Amino acid sequence: MVVMQKLKDSVGLKLGLLLVAVLIISAASSKQQLLTKVNGNLKAESFTLMNIHGQDVSLSDYEGKFVLLNFWATWCPPCVKEMPALSKLHDALSQERGNLQVVGIHVGPALVTVNQFLRDRPVSFDVLIDSDMSLASWDVAGLPTTFLISPSGEIIYKAIGEREWDSEEMIQLLKEIVHKYEQLTLVTPLSAKAET
């Protein structure tokens, strides 16, 4: 019983801090760039979380595809506002070549709340639940926070705060990123050719 209370207190504190960060980010994010490039070779940390149907889903299930990983919560107004745009983006880019998948990660325990939210506002992408906030190491300073992960598993872009995911500019930028990556992977390094 003491362990459960400590867990509740810990999750409550984390959620409270995230709420404050949401308010600060919302106020500060009026005019921002589309995505921020992440420098270096930052490998995305592996995880397995439950989806809204009770099945385990791992980041590795999306290996070989770009993943737009969006951390959100039902109680976060900017998160709620951008969900339809994320769904439209997913529809547009996952059907084009299947190269980009949007994945939402709800932060905090709320499976019943999330399911009700999605019944009222359905989305076309996978939604996972981080009920115990085990992905704290992902450097989510506030909600919403979104990471673009390359097919090789590297975090290459990040967005903190709400975005217009279905805007022409955002869709064009993501198409360009996918195209550049595809072009780079088609070029075989000279050292690899010399070995064959």
What are the pLDDT digits (tens) for 115-147? 999 999 999 999 999 999 999 889 898 999 999
- One of 3.10.580.10, 3.10.20.90, 3.50.50.60, 3.40.30.10 is the CATH number of 2-186, namely 3.40.30.10
Please tell me the distance from the alpha carbon of residue 174 to that of residue 101, in angstroms, as a whole number. Answer: 12
Q: Buried b vs exposed e over 85-116: b needs ≥16 C-beta within 10 Å?
A: bbbbbbeebbeeeebbbbbbbbbbbbeeebee
CA–CA separation, 124 vs 117, rounded Å?
14
The answer on pLDDT for 8 being more than 90 is no
Predicted TM-score (pTM) of the model is: 0.81
Contact call for residues 183 and 103 (beta carbons, < 8 A): no
